[in-house]
Amino acid sequence: MESENIIQEIAFNVIQGRLEAEDEGFDEGLAGKPGVIELVEQAIEQNVDIKDIILHGLTEAMDVVGKKFNDKEYLIPDMLASAECVGAAMEILQPYLLEAGVEEKEKFIIATVKDDLHDIGKNIVSIMIKGAGFDVIDLGADVPVEDIVAAVKEHQAPFLGLSALLTTTMRSMEDVIKGLSEEGLRDQVKVLIGGAPTSPEFADSIGADGYCQDAFEAVEKLKQFSAAG
């Protein structure tokens, strides 16, 4: 298959949300045909330019998916399926990025705070941000303050996302921010918060850098922070 055709096929399958050959897509008759994983691996074997894969095969495809979502043609599960495809593709491409002269994406650490076991929202945000090409480090749920601070320090992450679903646990977000300050890390990491009981006012009150109503807003704010440097 020609390089251009492989990239077109990758983009097509991202839009279809087809991760592997066994997956079905929106269109009929796709099961059994190569999905994003098989196509990206084939592209690497054929020395297709990594930048072209990322730009034209993945990024432009997600732009199409985002438009379909905005036009209400796609629902959230459709969007997540495509984001999972991009996340998997980026993992395959990761070892080749430096060699291809592609800057590694910035790290984004995400966690549900201590004593809060709810992680559905956190997982959706994680998938979407991974689909946007960021290097996501998911610490899981019920994560102690000191573990979150230690992860930011270890990975030198410029971005941190905190999730809480309970009014009784949301205060842990403030403890994390205090912990970052105590370790001298606060100025080097942007902190985004989200979850049902949180709000822009709460984010301001605890010194967070932003409140995200949903995963889509999280992706947009992260891109804005990244672009601003």
> Tens digit of pLDDT for each residue in 104-163?
679 999 999 999 988 878 888 888 888 777 889 999 999 999 999 999 999 999 999 999
What are the tens digits of pLDDT across the range 176-199? 999 999 999 999 999 999 998 999
Q: Inform me whether the pLDDT recorded for 210 exceeds 90.
A: yes
Q: How far apart are CA 200 and CA 193, in angstroms?
A: 9
Q: How far apart are the first and last CA of the chain?
A: 39
The pTM (predicted TM-score) of the whole model is 0.73
State the average pLDDT for the chain. Answer: 90
Q: Inform me whether the pLDDT recorded for 101 exceeds 70.
A: no
* Cβ atoms < 10 Å from Cβ of 118: 17
Query: How much of the chain exceeds pLDDT 90, in percent?
Result: 57
What confidence score (pLDDT) does residue 63 get? 82
What confidence score (pLDDT) does residue 102 get? 67
Query: Helices marked H in 46-166 — which ranges?
Result: 50-52, 60-70, 76-93, 120-131, 145-155
Between residues 30 and 133, which one has the greater pLDDT?
30
Please compute the mean of the pLDDT values over residues 204-225 and round it to a whole number: 91
Q: Which residues contact 102 (CB under 8 A, 6 or more apart)?
A: 50, 51, 54
